[in-house]
């Protein structure tokens, strides 16, 4: 099974923490959609003989696309690829875009999963983030989508800003649980250098909260959500039974996928390639039938091993020793078996049969543990 990711690089305004590729000017939106359609034609051989079981509109803000623009993209995908009858089709959206009419459009287009970027229910924090929606819209957009028949909904939350404390975080989690959504993605705020927040941090206008406080919020989230039937299936993701993100799970399991649009990444098992993060240059090169719109690297065995460790360790499926032995150099596997013992003793890794997974204590140190286990 394989997936298709479409990067839609447009936003109404720039969130102060975001370093994804996007533009706040929509003047080239129609032209860029045509360029993505052209890219599909150029890359028809990228996933040969693969069945597509997920389609994901990410960004940016894909909910800024018109019904016709989304239709054209989906129509072309179904024309060029063997798309599974029950494919998961996700569209990221902002609460302020989810009007009744917009939701009707998405239903007509057979979008069957919505990823709603709430981020917070706190009005002051949303203004600080420079989000385009209000706290009231955060809640009402979810209820409106549910009323329109959308059952497979995930919402995004951010914790770890200067507004975060245990008391208001508990209230946020309780509000999310009360909304009865089946999936939650929640990310610790990171300060990226090339953002407004990064600049303010550099000049000491803003300060980061300490790791201990973030860890407290993270543990509270795990415990509160698991008590309410959410499964913590990846470090930043919680889903009820039957509602895990198939698309993102495929990333973590090493499945193949093609990324279309500016800055989108692709993976075919042995190589990665990524499109240029510039809308105008992307459009220009595709109009000229030039391949200069992307870069490519063939992964070494060491890189493939390290990626498997990094992504697998973050999930409930863990690192499978049998898979390592079947796919990688014997020396890499021996090194892993030696190094992993220290983390088992520390209580940050648990082993069951031939699978290694993180304990709750280990989840706080996931990236550090993974890097220590790299070849």
| Chain segment 88-136, per-residue pLDDT in tens | 999 999 999 999 999 999 999 999 999 999 999 999 999 999 999 999 9
Spatial distance between the Cα atoms of 254 and 353, rounded to a whole number of angstroms? 22
Is the model's pLDDT at 299 over the cut of 90? yes
| Chain segment 254-284, per-residue pLDDT in tens | 999 999 999 999 999 999 999 999 999 999 9
User: What's the pLDDT score for residue 222?
Assistant: 98
Could you say which DSSP state residue 81 is in? S
Spatial distance between the Cα atoms of 235 and 249, rounded to a whole number of angstroms? 12
Other CB atoms closer than 10 Å to residue 329's CB: what's the count?
13
Q: Could you please report the per-residue DSSP string of 119-186?
A: E-S-HHHHHHHT-SS-HHHHHHHHHHHHHTT---EEEEEEE-STT--HHHHHHHHHHHHHTT-SEEEE
Peptide bond into 130 cis (omega under 30): no
| Chain segment 134-185, per-residue pLDDT in tens | 999 999 999 999 999 999 999 999 999 999 999 999 999 999 999 999 999 9
Is the model's pLDDT at 312 over the cut of 90? yes
Q: Pull the structure tokens for residue 336.
A: 């892993």
Is the model's pLDDT at 297 over the cut of 90? yes
In the beta sheet, which residues pair with residue 353? none
Could you say which DSSP state residue 231 is in? E
Query: Whole-model pTM?
Result: 0.96
**Structural domains of the chain, with CATH:** 2-252 (3.20.20.70), 317-372 (no CATH)
pLDDT-derived band at 226, boundaries 50, 70, 90: very high
Q: Is the dihedral of CA 131, 132, 134, 136 positive or negative?
A: negative
């Amino acid at each position: 099974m394989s997936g298709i990711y479409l990067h839609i690089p447009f936003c109404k305004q720039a969130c102060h923490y975001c370093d994804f590729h996007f533009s706040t000017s929509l003047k080239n939106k129609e032209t860029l959609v045509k360029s993505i359609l052209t890219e599909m034609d150029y890359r028809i051989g990228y996933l040969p003989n693969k069945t597509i079981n997920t389609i994901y509109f990410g960004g940016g803000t894909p909910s800024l696309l018109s019904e016709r623009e989304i239709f054209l993209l989906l129509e072309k995908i179904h024309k060029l690829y063997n798309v599974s009858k029950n494919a998961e089709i996700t569209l990221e959206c902002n609460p302020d875009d989810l009007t009744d009419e917009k939701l009707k459009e998405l239903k007509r287009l057979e979008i069957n999963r919505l990823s709603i970027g709430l981020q917070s229910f706190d009005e002051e924090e949303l203004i600080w983030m420079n989000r385009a929606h209000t706290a009231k819209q955060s809640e009402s957009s979810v209820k409106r989508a549910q009323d329109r028949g959308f059952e497979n909904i995930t919402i995004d939350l951010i914790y770890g800003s200067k507004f975060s404390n245990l008391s208001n975080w508990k209230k946020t989690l309780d509000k999310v649980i009360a909304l009865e959504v089946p999936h939650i993605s929640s990310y610790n705020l990171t300060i990226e250098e090339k953002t407004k927040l990064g600049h303010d941090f550099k000049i000491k206008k803003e300060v980061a909260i300490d790791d201990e406080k973030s860890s407290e919020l993270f543990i509270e989230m795990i415990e509160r959500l698991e008590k309410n039937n959410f499964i913590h299936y990846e470090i930043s993701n919680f889903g009820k039974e039957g509602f895990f993100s198939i698309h993102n799970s495929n990333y973590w399991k090493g499945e193949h996928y093609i990324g279309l649009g500016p800055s989108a990444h692709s993976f075919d098992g042995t190589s990665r390639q990524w499109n240029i993060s510039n809308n105008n240059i992307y459009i220009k090169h595709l109009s000229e039938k030039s391949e200069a719109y992307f870069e490519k690297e063939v992964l070494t065995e060491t890189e493939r091993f390290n990626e498997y460790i990094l992504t697998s360790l973050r999930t409930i499926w863990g690192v499978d020793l049998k898979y390592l032995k079947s796919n990688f150099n014997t020396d890499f596997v021996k090194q892993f078996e030696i190094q992993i013992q220290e983390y088992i003793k520390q209580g940050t890794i648990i082993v069951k049969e031939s699978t290694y997974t993180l304990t709750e204590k280990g989840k706080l140190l996931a990236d550090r543990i993974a890097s220590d286990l790299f070849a």
